[in-house]
């Protein structure tokens, strides 16, 4: 190829094959002519998308979507003055030098326009039962390259793996930085707090407002939890209290039944009158039991 340089040949090179810029910033697509003999070469730029190539510089004019937003910088570089997200594409610089023996060369530049994330949509359950699962989600679709996600609890970043932190060691969550989901397999009291999420990429970051997640404990769950601990004394005490309550309830219901059936009444006829239909007719019996329950409740 070195022979070409001394002979008549057009050879292109670039100072940056894959430039990037932030949206609304400027960027240069470098196309340098390393060797040429033709004095007035034809320079063209094409944008290559999935729909195929289209002209952005042709006949010494900027055209297409770049019109008014780009200029040619000598000899052949393309300077985009206000990049938009739609400019992310491959661009091809083509130089035709009629008087050279090798009269054509081209070079492809891969441009990435980074877009800052917008404020993500976050969903945090307000109230979760102790021991149940919970899912917190965070989504943002504008950012380019695609956003990564971080979650914060009470202003402190939650580590990807709870086992790497003393504070979160016993928490059952898994955190997916690509999808933004924070999943608790079994929520603890300590998981309650103020949560917010941050979407970030190379262009910047954005956060949603923090939201409170509460953890509530049902009595039954409390008992199950106590039963799962080694503290037998507490379980014993609670079982004792339960037995006393049940015994008291039985005594109350018993006294009520006796009273209703007239054991405390001097009128024996009334009790006889009652007993005969009660055994023969189920409806009356049910009604009687209803009354017992009502009085037991009051």
Ligand X SMILES: *[C@@H]1O[C@H](CO)[C@@H](O)[C@H](O)[C@H]1NC(C)=O
Binding site for ligand X (CB under 6 A): 24, 82, 84, 166, 169-170
Nearer to ligand X, 225 or 263 (CB): 225
Nearer to ligand X, 1 or 166 (CB): 166
Give me the least distance between CB of 188 and ligand X, in Å please. 9
Nearer to ligand X, 63 or 123 (CB): 63
Give me the least distance between CB of 166 and ligand X, in Å please. 6
d(CA 55, CA 19): 20
**Per 3-state DSSP, what percentage of the chain is helix, strand, and coil (rounded to 5)?**
30, 35, 35
Nearer to ligand X, 190 or 281 (CB): 190
Nearer to ligand X, 71 or 98 (CB): 71
Give me the least distance between CB of 31 and ligand X, in Å please. 24
Nearer to ligand X, 63 or 288 (CB): 63
Is-contact 226 253, C-beta < 8 A? Answer: no
CA 229, chain centre distance (Å)? 34
Nearer to ligand X, 23 or 94 (CB): 23
Check the CA dihedral 242-248-250-252 and report its sign.
negative
For 166-235, give the secondary structure using H, E and C.
CCCCCCCEEECCCCCCEEECCCCHHHCEEEEEEEEECCEEEECCCEEEEEECCHHHHHHHHHHCCCHHHH
Give me the least distance between CB of 115 and ligand X, in Å please. 12
d(CA 284, CA 107): 98
Residue 127's SS3 state is strand
The residues that bridge with 52 in the sheet, in sequence order, are 49
Long-range contacts formed by 279-285: CB under 8 A, 24+ apart: none
d(CA 124, CA 181): 10
Give me the least distance between CB of 163 and ligand X, in Å please. 11
Give me the least distance between CB of 253 and ligand X, in Å please. 42
d(CA 33, CA 93): 11
Give me the least distance between CB of 172 and ligand X, in Å please. 11
């Amino acid at each position: 190829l070195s022979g070409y340089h001394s002979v008549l040949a057009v050879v292109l090179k670039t100072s940056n094959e894959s430039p990037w810029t932030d949206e609304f910033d400027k960027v240069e697509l470098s196309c340098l002519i390393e060797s040429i003999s033709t004095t007035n070469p034809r320079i063209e730029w094409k944008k290559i998308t999935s729909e195929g190539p289209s002209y952005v510089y042709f006949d010494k004019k900027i055209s297409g979507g770049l019109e008014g937003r780009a200029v040619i910088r000598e000899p052949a570089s393309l300077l985009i003055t206000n990049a938009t997200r739609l400019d992310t594409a491959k661009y091809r610089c083509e130089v035709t030098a009629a008087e050279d023996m090798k009269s054509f060369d081209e070079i492809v530049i891969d441009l990435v326009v980074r877009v800052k994330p917008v404020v993500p949509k976050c969903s945090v359950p307000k109230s979760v039962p102790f021991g149940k699962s919970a899912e917190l989600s965070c989504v943002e679709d504008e950012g380019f390259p695609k956003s990564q996600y971080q979650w914060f609890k009470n202003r402190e970043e939650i580590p990807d793996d709870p086992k790497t932190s003393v504070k979160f060691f016993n928490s059952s969550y898994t955190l997916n930085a690509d999808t933004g989901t924070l999943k608790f397999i079994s929520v603890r009291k300590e998981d309650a707090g103020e949560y917010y999420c941050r979407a970030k990429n190379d262009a910047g970051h954005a956060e949603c407002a923090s939201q409170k997640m509460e953890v509530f404990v049902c009595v039954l769950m409390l008992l199950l939890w106590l039963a799962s601990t080694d503290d037998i004394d507490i379980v014993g005490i609670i079982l004792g209290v339960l037995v006393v309550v049940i015994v008291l309830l039985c005594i109350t219901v018993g006294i009520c039944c006796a009273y209703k059936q007239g054991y405390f009444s001097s009128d024996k006829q009334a009790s006889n009158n009652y007993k005969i239909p009660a055994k023969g007719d189920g409806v009356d019996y049910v009604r009687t039991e209803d009354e017992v329950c009502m009085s037991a409740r009051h």
